[in-house]
Amino acid sequence: MNRILLMILQRFGLGLLTLFVVSIIIFVGVEFLPGDIAEALLGQGASPENVAALRHELGLDRPAHIRYIDWWAGVLQGDLGTSLANRRDIAELITFRLSNTLFLALTAAAISVPLAILFGILAALYRNSAYDRSVNVITLGAVSAPEFLTAYVLILYFSVKLGWFPSLSNIDQDTSFIDKLHQVALPAITLMGVILAYMMRMVRASIINLLASAYIEMAHLKGMPKFRVIVKHALPNAWAPIANIIAISLAYLVVGVVVVEVVFIYPGLGQLMVDSVSNRDIPVVQACSMIFAGTYILLNLTADIVSICTNPRLLHPK
C-alpha cells in the first residue's frame, strides 16, 4: 500500500513541477514581446515620459525574476493582477466566467461520458455489425466537422428556424439553473457531438484490444455467461484505459470550449481569453492559460492515479 501512496505522491509532485515549468514558459514568453507592454498599450505616438510612467506603474522597470516571484505571491493570495484593457481586477473578472465555462463543460461531460462508454462498449461487442459500421462512419463524420460548423448548423435549425433555443447565450449572475440549462443547450450539444464521437472510438478500440486477451477466451471456455465475462473479466482491467480516455476527452473539451463560447458569445473563460489575445491584454492571457493548463494537468494526473489504483500488480505486490 505504501508503494502506491509513494507513486501517487510522485505523480502529484510531477504535476506540480509541470505546472511550475508551464508558469515559467507563460511568464518568460512575455519577455520576448517585441517592445514591451507599455509601448504596445500607449501606441507609437506616446512620449517617452508617459511610457516610463506606465512602465513604473505596471512594475515593468523591476527585474524579470522579481516580477515572476511577485506574480506567484499574488496568485497564491488570489491576486492575479489587473487587466490592461479595462483596469479591472483579473480574479474578479475570471471567477464568474470560470464558473460559466465549468458549467458548460460539465454539462457536456456529464451527458457524453456515460453515453460514450456505453455506446463504445456496444460497438466493441457487436464488432463489424451494421451498428458498429454505422457508428464508425457517423463518429468519423462528427470528429471531422469543425466545432463552428456544428454550432452554426444547430443555430440555423433550432434557433433561427424552430426558435427552440437562443442563438446567443445570455447569462448573468442572477440567471436561474433551469434557465441556464436552456441557454447552455446548443453550446453543450455542439461540444458533446465532438467528444462523444472521439471517446466512443477510443473506448471501442481499447475494449476490442482487451477482448482479444487470452484470459477472456479462457472465461468463455469456462462457460461463463457473456455478461459476466464483460463485467467480471473485462471491466476490472478496463478502468485504466477508460480513465485515460475520459481524461483525454475532457482535456479536449477544455479546448473545444474556446471556439464554442465565441460562436454563442457565451460569457466564459474561452471567450475572455480570445478577446484578451486580440487586445494583447497579457496578464489576462497569462491567467487564463494557467487555468486551462492547470485543469489539463489535473485531468491527466487523475487518469494516472486511477491507472495506478486499479493495477493489480501494484495493488498486490509480490
254-313 residues near other proteins, rule: CB under 8 A: 254-255, 258-259, 262, 273-274, 276-278, 280, 282, 285-286, 288-289, 292-293, 296-297, 300, 312-313
Among 6, 25, 69, 181, binds other proteins (CB under 8 A): 25
In angstroms, the CA 98 to CA 113 distance is: 21
In angstroms, the CA 288 to CA 277 distance is: 10
Considering only residues 227 to 256 of the shown chain, the ones binding other proteins according to CB under 8 A are 228, 232-233, 236-237, 251, 254-255
Considering the complex, state which of residue 50 and residue 129 has its C-beta at the smaller distance from other proteins.
129
Three-state secondary structure call for residue 61: coil
To the nearest whole angstrom, how small is the minimum distance from the Cβ of residue 23 to other proteins? 10
3-class SS letters over 102-153: HHHHHHHHHHHHHHHHHHHHHHHHCCCCHHHHHHHHHHHHHHHCCHHHHHHH
Determine, following the binding rule CB under 8 A, whether residue 1 of this chain makes contact with other proteins.
Answer: no
Among 26, 41, 135, 230, binds other proteins (CB under 8 A): 26
To the nearest whole angstrom, how small is the minimum distance from the Cβ of residue 239 to other proteins? 9
Considering the complex, state which of residue 21 and residue 106 has its C-beta at the smaller distance from other proteins.
21
To the nearest whole angstrom, how small is the minimum distance from the Cβ of residue 294 to other proteins? 10
Tally Cβ neighbours within 10 Å of residue 204. 23
Stretch that binds other proteins, among 20-28, 52-60, 91-99, 183-191 (CB under 8 A): 20-28
Considering the complex, state which of residue 53 and residue 314 has its C-beta at the smaller distance from other proteins.
314
Determine, following the binding rule CB under 8 A, whether residue 167 of this chain makes contact with other proteins.
Answer: yes
To the nearest whole angstrom, how small is the minimum distance from the Cβ of residue 192 to other proteins? 17
To the nearest whole angstrom, how small is the minimum distance from the Cβ of residue 173 to other proteins? 26
Determine, following the binding rule CB under 8 A, whether residue 134 of this chain makes contact with other proteins.
Answer: no
Determine, following the binding rule CB under 8 A, whether residue 18 of this chain makes contact with other proteins.
Answer: yes
3-class SS letters over 221-290: HCCCCHHHHHHHHHHHHCHHHHHHHHHHHHHHHHHHHHHHHHHCCCCCHHHHHHHHHHHCCHHHHHHHHH
To the nearest whole angstrom, how small is the minimum distance from the Cβ of residue 141 to other proteins? 6
Considering only residues 55 to 84 of the shown chain, the ones binding other proteins according to CB under 8 A are none
Q: Which residues pair with 89 in a beta bridge?
A: 82
Report how many residues bind other proteins under the rule CB under 8 A.
73
Q: Which residues pair with 82 in a beta bridge?
A: 89
Stretch that binds other proteins, among 74-82, 89-97, 104-112, 139-147 (CB under 8 A): 139-147
Q: Residue length, the chain?
A: 318
In angstroms, the CA 12 to CA 276 distance is: 31
Using a 10 angstrom Cβ sphere, with 0-12 exposed, 13-18 middle and 19 or more buried, the burial of residue 176 is exposed
CB 270 within 8 A of CB 262: yes
The set of cell numbers assigned to 314 is 501494484
Determine, following the binding rule CB under 8 A, whether residue 33 of this chain makes contact with other proteins.
Answer: yes
To the nearest whole angstrom, how small is the minimum distance from the Cβ of residue 278 to other proteins? 6
In angstroms, the CA 11 to CA 200 distance is: 28
Considering only residues 183 to 222 of the shown chain, the ones binding other proteins according to CB under 8 A are 212-215, 217-222
